[in-house]
Structure 1
Amino acid sequence: MLSKEEALQAARQFLEAAYADDSSGWTIVVLPDGSYRYHAGWAVRFDSQEALDSGQPWVGPMMKILLVPDDGSEPEFPPTNIPVPDYLEKLAAGEWPAGGDAR
C-alpha cells in the first residue's frame, strides 16, 4: 500500500514525463489536498499553474486527475467517457476493463 507521499511522488514523475514534450508551455502542479485514496491506490489531482494563477479552469489539461495504483504499476489517466467514481466502482467490481483486471 502506497503512502500519500509515495503516490504524490509517483504522480509527479509520471506527469513530468507525460508533459515533457508538450508544446503548451503549461507548468503542471500536483494538488495534494485534492487527492484521495480509493480501493487500490490514489486518485491524485493536478492542474496547470497557469490555470491556478488565472482562475480559468479551461487553461491546462482537460483531464486533471491521475490514478496511482498501489501495486506499483504505472499511473494512468482514467477514461473520459464515464465519471471517475463510476470508473473506480467498475474497476473494483472487475467490470473494467472488459474481462476484468480488477486491481
Structure 2
Amino acid sequence: MLSKEEALRVAGRFLDEAYANDSTGWTIVVLPDGSYRYHAGWAVRFDSQEALDSGQPWIGPMMKILLVPDDGSEPEFPPTNIPVPDYLEKLAAGEWPEGGGAR
C-alpha cells in the first residue's frame, strides 16, 4: 500500500514524462490537498500552474486526476465519459474494463 507521499512522487514523475513534449507549454503541478485514497491506490489531482495563477480552470488538461495503483502498475488517467467515483466503483466491482477483473 502506497503512502500519500509515495503516490504523489509517482504521479509527479509520470506527469513530468506525460507532458514533457507537450506543445501547450503548461507547467503541470500535483495538488496534494485534492488527492484521496481509493480502494486500490490514490486519485491524485493535478492542474496547470497557468490555470491556478489565472483562476481560469479551462487552461490546462481536460482530465485533472491521475490514478496511482498500490500494486505498482502504471498510473492511468480515468476515462472522461463517466464521473470518477462511478469509474472507481466499476473498477472495484470488476465491471471495468468490460469483462475485466477487480483491481
* Matching of residues 5-84 of structure 1 within 5 Å: 5-84=5-84
Query: Take 1:40 and 1:72, find their aligned partners in 2: how far apart are those partners?
Result: 10
User: Corresponding residue for 1:90?
Assistant: 90
Deviation at 1:99, TM superposition (A): 1.2
Per-residue displacement from partner, 1:20-43 (whole Å, max 9, x unpaired)? 000101000000000000000000
Q: Which amino acid aligns with 1:53?
A: D
Q: CA deviation at 1:102?
A: 1.4
Shift of 1:101: 2.9
Question: 2-side partners of 1:100 and 1:90: how far apart?
Answer: 10
TM-score (norm 1): 0.99
Structure 1 residue runs without a partner (length 5+): none
Flag structure 2 segments of 5+ consecutive residues without an equivalent. none
Scaled by the length of structure 2, the TM-score of the pair is 0.99
Aligned AA (2:59): V
